[in-house]
Chains A and B, each alone.
Chain A
Amino acid sequence: MNPRPDMIEFQDVHKYYGDYHALRGITATIKAGEFFSLLGPSGCGKTTLLRTIAGFEGISSGAVMIDGKNMAGVPANVRPTNMVFQSYAIFPHLTVEQNVGFGLRKDPMSKDQKARAVAEALEMVGLKGYGARAAHALSGGQRQRVALARALILKPKVLLLDEPLSALDKKMREQMQVELIRLQRQVGITFILVTHDQEEALVMSDRIAVMFEGEIAQLADPETLYRRPNSKKVADFIGTMNFLPARIVSEAGGMVEVEAQGFGAMTLTTEQCAAAGADKAGAMVGFRPETLTILFDGQTATDRETMGTVAEVVYYGDMTYYDVKLDGTEVPMRLSMRNVFGRPVLDLGTRTRIAWSPGALVLFR
């Protein structure tokens, strides 16, 4: 991929509400044309950070740069950003057309050109022919599209999306996720999405900043975040991760000797280690449910093998989740197996062989 220029740059951004420290030194860059997500639980500061880009929130110290320009003192109505609000903020007293064309009011282009731009924007979001409808009569998904068209018609450098899909039902949400990705590729504008839904962030983003308590805990692409979370907190927030107590035996030359409960002795690379000091309470090894495999009759492990007892079975149709107590451990670990035609679902209490590999583990310490 060719290197992209920086579009947004946060330089040690702090924000206080009275005594409350909402943003605690955010430093990050977002590249032009990137689909970037701010992910975190509610109250982590992700929406506040988004609003500092839009200009709805001032910052207490630091700098927010958009396309190389410091935004200090630049009000929201002249910033090269547009926002899709969580509530959509569709003007209820206007028609769909008037809503979409609202930002063009002061634009010097002719009436015909404006009408054409509005029609194009509506077509882009799949609302061709809806122009004359009253805005308050639209469904949630349609409002969402109107909000998108209204923001994109101004061709902003950055489109800000504040939990835009949280009010939609599951089916509609998944459909809009795909459409947003398509739209972003089509227009090539930098999209910054705020969400608390880790799955949504993984599906849609080029890169994700995971935030906790006003700080960015990890900034990485979805695969890195999932496979190599840099702290137990991030690992817990994104997907499911199993943890087992471990002891670091020795560390030298990029290799770490570890003794983990249930797994025994193994050698890990330092790349598999989350940042030091992230968890003082003791070292842990973590693994995702799909990285351990239950061995059915006749199958053999490619790497290592251990035994376990099935303690819980949750059947999902395409997948089955097993809680398995590995020999030598106290807490059952969650494993996921894709269901294959002709293979039975294991019963509770079944003794089974399990394949695992040190390469799939992450060490937290």
Chain B
Amino acid sequence: MNKGSGLRVYAIVYLVFLYAPIILLPLFAFNDSRVIAFPLTGFTTGWFAAMWEDEQLFRALRNSLIISGSTAIFATTLGIFAARASTRYSFPGKSGLLGLIMLPLVLPEMIMAMSLLVVLLWIGIPLSIWTIILGHILICTPFAVAILSSAFQSLDKSLEEAAYDLGENAVSTFRLIILPLVMPGIVSSLLICFTISLDEFIIAYFLGGSDTPLSAYIYGQFRFPARVPAMLALGTILVGVSILLLSIAEYFRRRGLARTGAKDTGGFL
């Protein structure tokens, strides 16, 4: 066995270890048994039906959609301002400020969740889906800034000047030139923030009041062995939706690069 094939085996083992659990998810979601164990006993779609009749689940889903939707919109809006400022203007303390904006990317979520909880309780703000949204905006904004900065960066400054030179004002230039050209980045940012917020657990668990979002709800259901297969069915759907959203996001990011004729400097996928 030569050196190259040894590394290849390592890579394959690594990928199996990474993805096998995710493949098990749909496997057991369609398995006709309450016990999560091999051998598989038979095929059923009954767990999906059980999931469908769960009213609490739909309430959790509704909460999650509100949280993720709001987070995506707020984080992306903030991201647009930050990206625009970081690529177009220079001001004292700019790099430090951007560093602080990007910090939540590497800060342990646990720390953020705890400190936010302490502050919210101290101020006396009741926990609700809005406090979760607040936390999620904090962790999603860095992603939005990263994606949008690359979109704004690939924008030639003279395009704006040209529009201005041809009689447009700052507002119409933004609407006619800048917005269409960074739109793929905006769509991509919305989708990625949505996905991150949808999957997020720690902040959702810490800062959620009586309105649990999907992630916290799933965690809670795992206490009841009978409910587990239905949750696996739900998980299967979530994996599918996540992959779909991220693919769409990447598609828009690449299309944006192609449209402005910019070089690909690497994205998230």
Contacts and interface: CB of A to CB of B under 8 A. Distances in A.
Chain A complexes with chain B: yes
Given A92-B259, A93-B259, A76 B161 contact: yes
B168 A77 contact: yes
Contacts of B156: 87, 89
B124 interface: no
Contacts of A76: 161, 164-165
Contacts of B167: 77-78, 103, 105-106, 154
Q: Is the interface of B mostly helix, strand, loop or mixed?
A: helix
A103 B260 CA distance: 21
Contacts of B166: 77, 82, 102-103, 150-151, 154
B203 interface: no
Contacts of A56: 161, 164-165
Contact of A82 (B165, B168, B260): B165
A272 to B, nearest CB: 44
B180 to A, nearest CB: 5
Contact of A92 (B158, B164, B165, B261): B261
Interface residues of A, number: 23
Contacts of A235: none
A89 B178 CA distance: 13
Given A85-B158, A86-B158, A91 B177 contact: yes
Contacts of A102: 163, 166
B250 to A, nearest CB: 20
B246 interface: no
Chain B interface size, under 10 / 10 to 19 / 20 to 34 / 35 or more = 10 to 19
A94 B168 CA distance: 16
Interface in A132-148: 136
B148 interface: no
B244 interface: no
A76 B165 CA distance: 6
A89 B164 contact: no
Interface string B151-162: 000001011011
Nearest to B161: A56
B125 to A, nearest CB: 43
Interface string B126-170: 000000000000000000000000000000101101111111110
A54 B19 CA distance: 58
B214 interface: no
B181 interface: yes
Contacts of B180: 93
A83 interface: yes
Nearest to B168: A77
Contacts of B165: 54, 56, 76-77, 81-83, 151
A274 B212 CA distance: 86
Nearest to B258: A136
Nearest to A86: B158
Top 6 A-B pairs ranked by shortest CB distance? A103-B166, A89-B162, A89-B158, A85-B158, A83-B165, A93-B180
Given A77-B168, A89-B161, 8 more contacts: A56-B164, A85-B158, A89-B162, A102-B166, A105-B167, A106-B167, A150-B166, A151-B165
Interface of A: 54, 56, 76-78, 81-83, 85-87, 89, 91-93, 102-103, 105-106, 136, 150-151, 154
10 contacts: A56-B161, A56-B164, A56-B165, A87-B158, A91-B159, A92-B259, A103-B167, A105-B167, A151-B165, A151-B166
